[in-house]
Amino acid sequence: MSRPQPSVPFFRPSITQREIDEVVACLRSGWLTTGPRTKQFEESFAKAVGAKYAVAVNSCTAALHLAVEALELKAGQGVLIPTMTFAATAEIIRYQGAIPILVDCDPVTLNIDLQDAAVKLAAVRAGELPVAPDTPVVGIIPVHVGGAMVDMDLVEQFASAHGLWVVEDSAHALPAAFQTQAGTWKMSGHDTAAVTCFSFYANKTITTGEGGMAVTANADLANRMRSMSLHGLSNDAWKRFSGSGAWDYHILAPGYKYNLTDLASSLGIHQLDRAEELRAEREELAGRFLIDLNAIGQLELPPTHSDRLHAWHLFPIRLRCETLRICRNEFMEKMRERGVGNSVHWRPLHLHPYYANDFCWRPEHCPVATREWERLISLPLFPGMSELEYQHVVETVKLLCAEYHV
């Protein structure tokens, strides 16, 4: 009798008894919303990444929105962002009535291509993009795709040369670091941008279920983000959460409801303690994939660089489609039929209806991303993956490549 086929999810969170006990203790404390556990989480997180200030919020999207609002992004202004990113990086710009200017990706790393960013700036001024020629470009938001950091020294030099602020989308990059031009190592969030934003979604290295964090070295930005994360109330209003403040408060601006709860922070406190352990387990699995899939001619594997501490949020393979009798979508479907979860990161923004129809972005505006996304597949990669699950992923990919090769 044959053994039943394993079913491998795309991700599965790693939750220990410590997190469970903390959540139960929070429930029993009678204090569920933003309070002492969130404050503890913020302080611990700032220390962990080497930041001065940390503001806990209910998503990385919220963190990004608060960041650009605090930096006074105005309607009609432009912001350079990678087309190879999730919806949130662009939509927070639209929340402000500003214009996302889509930049192509590096063909190796898939991170933002700063050379193309310079081309896009010139093209805006020349009226060669679907953006008004007089659009003032004020910022840039790099994204660390899959957990491999962009060289933030180069981003800072580019931003300085063009008079731009930098907000860092580190949804994939905790913990992650890059080697600076001076030879030292710098973690994402350690003064790498005006504001750095992290995600604690369920499939990230550490999770609070839903959640995010904005970190900065600038007290004014931190205070503005904290106020705007809770309806634009005065900072004194936060003291009410500890029971030490007065009942009164002042509305300073029309803010948002972005605060993180103590219930979520209960998970985050202990997940943060395990962050490097969880990253190292992802790295070990990624290293095994790199060895076990290396000889398959139908695949290109993600690059590794000695000057990066990789978070390994994703393990994206690229199909050499000319060597296969099936396309990427069919390959993915056959993986799912055989019990292997998978995904694509991402359909580039310029190929989505909103940006194509409303802003007239076309495939030729970002040719590398247009080409590369059609052969991308993200394999399952998560701490706690069993040996049986791992072997099933590897064997499934090998068998499909063998079965459908040209």
Q: Which residues participate in catalysis according to the annotation? A: 204
CB-based burial of residue 134 (10 Å sphere; 0-12 exposed, 13-18 middle, 19+ buried)?
exposed
| 246 Cβ contact list (under 8 Å, min separation 6) | 236, 239, 240
- What tokens does 214 get? 């904005």
Tokens 């403040």 appear where?
A: 245
> How would you classify the pairing of strands 53-57 and 212-216?
antiparallel
Angle between the N-to-C axes of helices 114-126 and 152-162, in degrees from 0 to 180, rounded to the nearest 10: 20
Whole-angstrom CA distances from 8 to 140, 269, 301, 367, 393 are 37, 28, 20, 33, 8
Other Cβ atoms within 10 Å of 297 Cβ, number = 9
Cα–Cα dist 391/182, whole Å: 41
Instruction: Tell me which H or E stretch contains 87.
Output: helix 87-95
DSSP one-letter code for 202: T
- At residue 224, what are phi and psi to the nearest 5 degrees? -65, -45
